[in-house]
Chains A and B, each alone.
Chain A
Amino acid sequence: MKKSLLAALAAATALGCLPVAAEDLITSDRVGPSDAPKKMVFRMTGDGPSSTDPTWAAGYTKLYTDFINNHPGWQLELQMMTGDISQEQARMLEQARAGHAPDCAAVDSFVLPLFKQAGVLKSLSPYFTKEEIDQLFPFVRDGVTGKDGQVYAWWWSTDLRVLYRNKEIVLNAPETWADAKAAALKSVEAGMEGILFNGSRYEGTGFDWLGNFWGQGGKLVDDAGKPVFADADNRDKFVKAVNYYRDLVESGAAPKRVATIGNYDDFNAAAAAGTTAMFVGGNWQYRQLQNSMEPEEFAKWTFSPLPGITADQRSTGTGGWTVAAFSSEPEKVEMCAALAREVYMGPANALQEQLPTRADLYDKYDIFKSEANQTFAKALKVGQARPGVLIYPEISNQIQIMMGKVLTGAATTDAAVDEAYKATLDAYARL
């Protein structure tokens, strides 16, 4: 009797502990058992179990649980980045130079050249097959490959900018700048704010707008990496693209408050509140709109490629995230590559509907066969990544400053462009 009581108690205790053990496998800052002998520090964005989107958080929790179960003896220490990506990446670069970087981290694709230049990344080439590398889109492969031919990060997702619109108010997709202005003015007549876009001191301000410049064949830098965006060949295209935004504000097609917008969430809020009918946003916002709106409201929304100066002169900016290794321990570098492959390269794309960087993954996952994602994939064909040069952050900074002055009428377009160009060239000379 006593023995059976003890056995029952032991069984109850064991059963009671099971859920606790399962809960403990993933905490806010750790994945895997806390007493695992091997540990890798991973600094990440919100693309993980702590995602603010409950669906994504649940999906990542499963992906990470499967991952850590496939790698017994390991635990991941998770370090979360804040929303100020530029600052986070700069800080991580400094830490890496001082030898204090995390073992593995999410690196924004547009600052990857800085990390490669600093020589702080470890090669991931041994952990990916030639076939996997060959499947990467060319601009992605070029972006992650160093001068020595080694792959220094795994670029797993890409994105692009499109024009969202409320079909009830703007029926046809604007194809040109003139179409966009006319449609925006029509939406203003319908009581809306007009077209919204990022226009404040924010990386997205320059990046979202650059498609208007690139679509005309404009170049930011030459083959040597020197800024040329306002030289004899490019200045006219650059000024025209700036004047497009200026005209939108001055004509009332866009509210002046665009000069204060520096967050894609503001567009979601305005769309959900029914105060705008058009905005320039990222492809990832399609799912966010779906999650935040009632189905009948979401059904009114659609998207199309960004308008161009003419219908056949269109482009869009493409970005995305990479996973890179900093550790000097090969075992941790391999673990980092495994994390990129098993969690992010494919599964995370499908979970978040973040566009994959490999052509074959569009066929592998059904979700990318949807009409919306097929349209995004087509738009990628005119996509352009930010130049992988050291001066790009300063070009972006100067475009943000210039845009603020132009949109608020604090300076003429010509003066603001010339000032931005001179400041960029000065910064280039100091590099």
Chain B
Amino acid sequence: MSARAVRPKLPFLWATGRHNRVPSPYPWLMPVILVMGLFYLYPVVDVFRYAFTDLTLLGGEGHYTLSTFGNVLMRPELLQILWVTFVFTAGSVLGQQVIGLAMALVVVRSEKRHLFGTTILRTTALIAWVVPGIAGGIIWKMLFNEAPFGGLNSLLRLLGMAPVQWLSDPDVVMWSVVLSNVWRGTAFSMVVMYAALKAIDPSLYEAAEVDGASARQKLFFVTLPQLRPAILVNMILITIQTLNTFDAIISLTGGGPGRATEVLSLYTFNVVFRNYDLAAGSVLSILMLVISLGLALVYAAFLPKDEKA
């Protein structure tokens, strides 16, 4: 019989044993529960409530209705918005994960060899991470500016190359946006991967070396399997973060040209703050929540069982 099974059930405030009094955890947890409920749960409940109304920011009491769900989910532009969101999220997550892992490997290897510049690399990446999204968008807008004096195109001209329509070509603009988001978010992945790499038992590498494994074999048969839980957790976090990203896009492209870069979070923002449709915005928020939770569950299914526990 486990210890948990024999533990007496605690009354709300105080548990009294035969010889001693065991304090109940609930009074200590109440502040956290209250804060969580007030600042996290209440807004979520409100979003669900608004989704079942026809409320707008323009006044009026609003009425409870189910029609908002139908109206929003049947909008013809929603499919394109979801596709744009998928491309943006997949591109950003893959880019951040791969480059973050590569940078972490470089940093760990450099540290082992005491190479100069490791700290500079780490710090540079972290600086990009702490830049606010709006500012990041403005920085990249200047770089992608297609005017004759634009940043990247000026560089390309200097190298004798043709300028690129970074933001005005509907086929290119999404990758420009992904690039700016990867630039900003890679540091987070690098930090997570760096911590996970440091936690790998060195004896595994020693054993691999004894077996005559090459560097490539050590990466694929030791490092990556050991990093699997960290990679999955990191992907859950950056997927949710990317799905919620709109500040960098709004300052870089505003969602355009047309709807070429209008992701779901930006569309939700536009519906609420430009169309003043609070109820429709709430339905879209729930849709984002469902997508985030769904993806998190998919990732979690790949976690080793003991990691999930």
Q: Which residues of chain A have a CB within 8 Å of any CB of chain B?
A: 84, 86-87, 90-91, 93-94, 97, 114, 117-119, 193, 199-202, 255-260, 262, 266, 269-270, 273, 275, 390, 393-394, 397, 400-402, 404-405, 407-408, 410-411, 423, 426-427, 430-431
Q: In the complex, what distance in Å separates the CA atom of A90 from the CA atom of B183?
A: 31
Q: Is the CB of A90 within 8 A of B148?
A: no
Q: What residues of chain A lie closer than 8 Å to B148, measured between beta carbons?
A: 193, 273, 275
Interface set, chain B 74-88, CB cutoff 8 A to A: 75-77
CB distance B274 to A86 under 8 Å? yes
Question: Contacts A200-B257, A257-B165, A397-B270 given; 12 further ones with Cβ under 8 A?
Answer: A87-B273, A90-B57, A114-B276, A200-B253, A260-B146, A260-B256, A266-B147, A397-B274, A404-B256, A405-B259, A430-B280, A431-B58
State the CA gap A199–B168 with chains docked (Å): 10
Is there a chain A Cβ closer than 8 Å to B31's Cβ? no
| B276 lies within 8 A of A273 (CB) | no
State whether B258 touches A405 (Cβ < 8 A): yes
Residues of A within 8 A of B75 (CB): 426
On whether the beta carbons of A408 and B57 are closer than 8 Å, the reply is: no
- Among A262, A393, A402, point to the contact of B274 (Cβ < 8 A): A393
Interface of B is mostly: loop
The answer on a CB contact under 8 Å between B258 and A408 is yes
Binding site for A on B (CB under 8 A): 54, 56-59, 71, 75-77, 145-149, 165, 167-170, 250, 253-260, 270, 272-277, 280
A-B contacts, 14 of them at CB < 8 A, read A87-B274, A90-B273, A90-B276, A118-B57, A256-B146, A257-B145, A257-B147, A258-B168, A259-B167, A259-B256, A273-B147, A393-B276, A408-B257, A408-B260
A408–B11 alpha-carbon span in the complex (Å): 68
Are A255 and B146 also in contact (CB < 8 A) when A114-B58, A262-B254 are?
A: yes
Question: Which chain A residues border B169 with CB–CB below 8 Å?
Answer: 256, 408
Cβ contacts under 8 Å, B170 to chain A: 408, 410
- The answer to whether residues A117 and B275 also contact, given A257-B147, A259-B168, A407-B257 and a CB cut-off of 8 A, is no
Q: Which residue of B lies closest to A255 (CB)?
A: B146
CB-based nearest A residue for B149: A273
A382 CB, nearest partner CB in chain B, Å: 29
Given contacts A269-B147, A401-B259, A427-B275, contact A260 B58 (CB under 8 A): no
* Bound Cα distance A411, B277 (Å): 27
Given contacts A193-B147, A397-B270, contact A260 B167 (CB under 8 A): yes
Minimal beta-carbon separation of A94 from chain B (angstroms): 5
Assess the B168–A97 pair: CB atoms within 8 A: no
Chain A residue numbers with a CB within 8 Å of B256 are 200-201, 259-260, 400-401, 404
Bound-complex Cα distance A165 to B281 (A) = 43
Residue of A nearest to B250 (CB): A84
Q: Is the CB of B58 within 8 A of A118?
A: yes
CB distance from B172 to the nearest CB of A (A): 10
Nearest CB on A from B141, distance (A): 8
Enumerate chain B residues within 8 angstroms of A397, measured Cβ to Cβ. Answer: 270, 274-275
Assembly CA distance A90 to B272 (angstroms): 8
- A59 to B: closest C-beta gap in Å: 28
Kindly state the separation between the CA atoms of A410 and B259 in the bound complex, as whole angstroms: 10
In whole angstroms, what is the CA distance A201 to B250 when docked? Answer: 9
Instruction: Let me know if B168 and A408 touch, CB within 8 A.
Output: yes
Residues of A contacting B258 with CB < 8 Å? 401-402, 404-405, 408, 410-411
Question: A380 → chain B, closest Cβ, in Å?
Answer: 28
In the complex, what's the smallest C-beta–C-beta distance from A390 to chain B, in angstroms? 6
Q: Are B168 and A257 in contact (CB under 8 A)?
A: yes
